Amino acid sequence: MRSTSVLRAVPRSARPASAAAPAAASSRAISTSHHAEAELADNKRFLAHAKNERPVWTALRGSSLLNEPSLNKGAAFSREERDVFGLVGLLPHEVHDLEMQCKRAYFQLHQRGTPLSKYTFLSSLRDQNQVLFYNFALRHLKEVLPLIYTPTVGEAIQKYSQVWRRPDGLFLTYADKDRMRELMFTSKRPKDVDLIVVTDSEGILGIGDQGVGGILIAIGKSNIYTLGAGIDPARILNVVLDVGTDNMTLLNDPLYLGLRRSRIRGQEYDDFVGKFCDTVRECYKDAFLHFEDFGVTNAGRILSKYREKQSCFNDDMQGTAAVVLSALMSACKVTKSELKDQRICVFGFGTAGQGIADGIRSALMLEEGLTSEEAQKCFWVIDRPGLLTTSVDPATLREGQSNFLRDKEEVADWNRDPEKGITLLEVVKKAKPTVLIGCSTMAGAFNEEIVREMSKNCDRPVIFPLSNPTRLAEADPSDVNEWSSGQALMATGSPFPPIKNHQNGQLYKVAESNNALVYPGFGLGVIAAKATQLTDGMITAGVAALAKLAPALEDPHESLLPHLKDLRSVSVKVATAVANAARAENVSNAKRTTDFSEDEIRAMMWDPVYRPLELVEK
């Protein structure tokens, strides 16, 4: 049994800068890095905190300490620490602080020629030294984010079985369904988990069913939770529910590592997912459950079934909806209009499109006071059959889609394409939308005729071509800017180059509707409040907090969303709003009588800095 008796505490005066004064050292490292593309002026203070002075006790010594990624400091171990922990001779002579380590990592990263090789390097870095990986990623967030998440992780997922080296995460296979609780407990005890990210891998990043390789998407999301909201990586459980795959390429690959059978469907599937959710709710009751990339036929259904039973969240539906709603609220403030007065056209009504519509509808009812029927009249949604109306066969609709149907009599005299029904152009001409949201993955769908037609009927049209990757976007923002004479307010689903302001000729950044701006804050807020649910009211509170940070509120030609370089400060504000909404709605198990402050939320975050280590006997 571990004793707390200190065999030899590292003297404060002897600790290296990276341990004795992690805040100051980290701040210097950030400000002096020649390669940092993300301007970390704001993040500097988010790595400086008194809690980082507290020592970490460990009984590990020698190679065991070097092989523990949450404690390993590599060449940053001081001479005294090397002495105390038996590291002399196991490390090269020189002591290099975190700043020097990040410079070395940057050099090593750029020796890799392809995004996939850079991804594998960064994954290896995380597996060796968590502090270095996350500190490095924050310094170079703009450059690193596409490598550790979309789009590069998609390539890594597709090649998962071919390049696999070591296990990471928890693999819950249908073949082991009767041992689920045992396997979860063996992986991590309930008291050690704040966040569970789970996928069944059926709807990955626009590349579809990827079987067991989906574990990498869970890990990618977890990286963003840690970078954005300081969720301790040691307290995150990444899970893939391996229920087989319908991807014949994988099934025919002799190297495939997952369950080699077609996907479990129907009641068997529901029972398996239900058993997992029940185990989380009963045993990991304080953990936030994040559903990621479930298939279109299951995502909304599973969320609806469990969201009132436990604190759970579907990023593809709720996260996407939240960040788009925030951009839309910012646009409303710029145009000095009300959300309830918008005429909203959603083009593409899959998981993302429906999720966005649901999020806006909830805000219209919660914040604007509209009834369900009144909110329904704000929408025109277009999918494969064209404009969805009450003439659609109810059997072809997914749960919740009936909330967005237009009355067939209302559009009886509208023109119809024999194959496509009522088209987007016809809706733009007749409904005169003020907001156009694209989730169709149909490149170029928002063409010049549509944008010019929309601009005729609206002084400042709101146009969001959200499909990603970039090649699938409904329009290029530079074209939309030109066709609307610089009046369109835009947000995109992928990063695009800055575009020119028609009035002053200056370049400005188009808002990137990146879910990373919102879901880390949701998670931190739920964890802080020990919330039993993530309610619509909590989501709306977080969205409102994000909308207040839009640069466009100061300059109407600027971005409708804050920049990713401010991710940690953004997450604190979102989390504070979410936690306080949980308390107001009585879904918080945190024992307190006052609201959470931003300082309290900030103090709960894990920071990627080296803390002092003290050795204890077992």
* DSSP string of 267-322, one letter each residue: HHHHHHHHHHHHHHHHHSTTPEEEEES--TTTHHHHHHHHTTTS-EEEIIIIIHHH
Q: How far apart are CA 272 and CA 305, in angstroms?
A: 14
Q: How far apart are CA 520 and CA 230, in angstroms?
A: 8
* DSSP string of 54-73, one letter each residue: S-EEE---HHHHHT-TTT--
Q: How far apart are CA 323 and CA 461, in angstroms?
A: 18
Q: How far apart are CA 582 and CA 606, in angstroms?
A: 22
Sheet order of strands, 344-347 included: 386-387, 379-383, 344-347, 435-438, 462-465, 489-492, 511-512
**The token pair that represents 510 in the structure block:** 């188009």
149 in active site: yes
Catalytic residue (one of 149, 160, 269, 610) = 149
Instruction: Quote the Cα angle for 462-465-466, to 5°.
Output: 115
Q: How far apart are CA 440 and CA 557, in angstroms?
A: 26
3-state secondary structure of 208: strand
Q: How far apart are CA 454 and CA 457, in angstroms?
A: 6
Catalytic residue (one of 118, 221, 565, 573) = 221
Does the annotation flag 293 for ligand binding? yes
Does the annotation flag 468 for ligand binding? yes
Return the half-sphere exposure (C-beta side, CA atoms, 13 A cut-off) of residue 20.
Answer: 13
Backbone angles phi, psi at 397, to 5 degrees: -90, 145
Q: What is the DSSP letter of 9?
A: E
Distances (CA, A) of 119 to 108, 152, 218: 12, 7, 15
Looking up tokens 């990210």, which residue turns up?
Answer: 197
221 in active site: yes
**The token pair that represents 267 in the structure block:** 């009641």
* DSSP string of 331-362, one letter each residue: HHHHHT--GGG--EEEE--SHHHHHHHHHHHH
Does the annotation flag 316 for ligand binding? yes
Binding residues: 292-293, 316, 468, 514
Mind telling me the catalytic residues? 149, 221
Binding residues for (S)-malate: 468, 514
